[in-house]
Amino acid sequence: MRRLWGPLLALACACGRDDRAPAAAGSTGAASAEPSPPPVVPSRFDVPLEYDFTPVMQVVERAVPTTFGSMDSVRQVGPDARRHYAFEATRGPFTAFVVDSLVHLRARLSYTARGYYKPRIGPTLSAGCGKGDDRPEIIVELVTPLTIDSEWRLKSRARLERLEPASPKDEDRCKVSLVRVDVTDRVVDAARRALSSRLRRIDRMVNRIDLTTRATRWWALLQRPIRLTDDVWLELRPQRLRVGRVTGTGRVLTVQAGLDALPRVTVGPEPTPVYTALPPLAHDSTGGGFHMSVDGVVDYTTASLAMTEALRGRSISKAGRSVAVRSVVVSPADRGRLALDVGFAGDASGRLRLVGTPGLDASRGNIVVPDLDYDLSTDDGLVNAVAWVKGDDLRALLRERARVPVAPVLDRGRTLLSKGLNRTVGGVMTLSALVDSVSAEGIFVSPAGVMVRAAATGTARVAVRPKTRD
């Protein structure tokens, strides 16, 4: 069996599909129309698409000032013309993290402040806080949901989530007793006004981030053939990308994306991809994992060898006479059926033809022909002396034993798909997948062999991370 299935080890005889339904000719070469397999339903890969949102960070850094206030800008405390204060705050860099579907951008404001009091008599008095590196701090936190519209542009709705002293400790407040005012509150109010006025600008700048160029590269990468082994290629043939909920951790957004594709495995030289333009992004809900349809072909030579191996030497006896099966040759017949030409020898020798419709014995993982029956066209050529061979016992034997196992094909297919879906493509896209199962779902007759339609299921992830300069 190792020798019989050798041609299938690279799926060379197991996986290959033409989009057009096969028009199998009968054994006589007649061009009668054959039952076609149903159209291939697009496979749906539901995969999380990871995106490093560093460009969003850069936009916010440019949109939000790094300084607030000035020590040269002295402000009056309420209606009292004798009391004044001034402050100057410096913003540190933003850090980012994701909670559920919201991007949080957090920074610290450190500031220095000074209060001034002009008594009725004498010089102006002053006192303050925040000299040197020992400066009180305020936490600033912006949040925004990030989505992608159908034209591949980011969408933001930023809001101010948090603006308060970094801690309840005294070192993070600036109370100037000389003017009887907590300057911390004044700094917070000034920062709130400045930041609130920048929120819509942040949205406009983020909304100008166009992912079309990146997505076009991703789309082109998905259309490249993936080499599974020598002369065996996986083509994903993407049709559409969908996007659902957005989540993330750290600085990576995870878009619950879906890919509709018509994957196929081909044998021979590397296929020339037919590149299609990036389609508009569709929005809908997605599930988990992928379901891939792959059509494979068990060629007639392999099927004949397998059936011969299973039946050779099996004998049928009747009225003291017996014959044994020598060989089985499998070929296509009309109306989507298979023909089995069975050679026998013993007390009689010759060849009988039986025809039947192939099916799938899912419990045993075999291609079977449960309705095999004698082809009436062979009666005229059957010598009367051996007519007794054509009996119920031989037909029952063939119905039971004429099987072609599909497990080697499916197991090898699973191994090669796992290999093909775990790799880096183009230096920016990493495919990782776990193929849970590959199972045969249908059997059809084609000119090249018995077509096995298989379904592969599993989980997959596509991580897209920009290069250093993306």
State residue 366's pLDDT score: 87
Is pLDDT larger for residue 386 or for residue 263?
263
Cβ-based neighbours of 78, under 8 Å, separated by 6 or more: none
Q: Give the residue numbers spanning the domain of 187.
A: 65-197
Joined tokens for residue 457: 């299921």
Question: Is 340 within the bounds of a domain?
Answer: yes
Share of the chain above pLDDT 70, in %: 84
pLDDT tens by residue, 75-123: 888 888 888 888 999 999 998 888 777 889 999 999 998 888 888 888 8
Question: Is 203 within the bounds of a domain?
Answer: no
In this structure, the answer to whether residues 77 and 122 fall within a common structural domain is yes
In this structure, the answer to whether residues 159 and 278 fall within a common structural domain is no
In this structure, the answer to whether residues 344 and 469 fall within a common structural domain is yes
Question: Is 206 within the bounds of a domain?
Answer: no
In this structure, the answer to whether residues 13 and 74 fall within a common structural domain is no
In this structure, the answer to whether residues 327 and 457 fall within a common structural domain is yes
Alpha helices in 376-470 (DSSP H): 392-401, 407-420
Does the pLDDT of residue 456 top 80, yes or no?
A: yes
Looking at the 3D structure of the chain, how many domains does it have?
2
Joined tokens for residue 89: 């705050």
In this structure, the answer to whether residues 231 and 307 fall within a common structural domain is yes
369: pLDDT confidence band, cut at 50, 70 and 90?
very high
pLDDT tens by residue, 193-227: 889 999 999 999 988 888 888 889 888 988 999 88
Q: How confident is the model over 250-268, as a mean pLDDT?
A: 77
Distance, CA of 145 to CA of 152 (rounded, Å): 16
State residue 203's pLDDT score: 92
Considering the chain, what is the average pLDDT of its residues? 80
Q: How confident is the model over 19-35, as a mean pLDDT?
A: 38
Joined tokens for residue 30: 């007649």
Q: Where are the beta strands (DSSP E) in 347-408?
A: 350-356, 359-361, 366-368, 373-374, 403-405
In this structure, the answer to whether residues 21 and 102 fall within a common structural domain is no
Is pLDDT larger for residue 308 or for residue 131?
308
Question: Is 204 within the bounds of a domain?
Answer: no
Task: Give 103-118 as a DSSP string.
Answer: EEEEEEEEEEEEEEE-
Task: Average the pLDDT over each of 222-231, 295-304, 373-382 and give the range with the smallest value.
Answer: 373-382
Domain termination residue (choose one: 172, 197, 222): 197
Alpha helices in 297-427 (DSSP H): 300-311, 392-401, 407-420
22: pLDDT confidence band, cut at 50, 70 and 90?
very low
In this structure, the answer to whether residues 160 and 241 fall within a common structural domain is no
In this structure, the answer to whether residues 19 and 141 fall within a common structural domain is no
State residue 6's pLDDT score: 29
Question: Is 202 within the bounds of a domain?
Answer: no
pLDDT tens by residue, 298-326: 889 988 998 999 899 998 888 788 889 99
Closest CA to 86 of 62, 117, 60, 115: 115
Is pLDDT larger for residue 220 or for residue 381?
220
In this structure, the answer to whether residues 25 and 100 fall within a common structural domain is no
State residue 15's pLDDT score: 34
State residue 377's pLDDT score: 64
Question: Is 287 within the bounds of a domain?
Answer: yes
Domain termination residue (choose one: 165, 197, 229): 197
Share of the chain above pLDDT 90, in %: 18
Task: Average the pLDDT over each of 31-35, 94-98, 217-221, 274-278 and give the range with the smallest value.
Answer: 31-35
Q: What is the pTM of this model?
A: 0.60
Does the pLDDT of residue 340 top 90, yes or no?
A: yes
In this structure, the answer to whether residues 12 and 93 fall within a common structural domain is no
Q: How confident is the model over 122-146, as a mean pLDDT?
A: 88
47: pLDDT confidence band, cut at 50, 70 and 90?
low
Joined tokens for residue 424: 């880096």
State residue 328's pLDDT score: 94
Is pLDDT larger for residue 323 or for residue 263?
323
Question: Is 392 within the bounds of a domain?
Answer: yes
Question: Is 205 within the bounds of a domain?
Answer: no
Distance, CA of 378 to CA of 351 (rounded, Å): 9
In this structure, the answer to whether residues 253 and 392 fall within a common structural domain is yes
Is pLDDT larger for residue 281 or for residue 37?
281
Joined tokens for residue 231: 């002369």
State residue 380's pLDDT score: 45
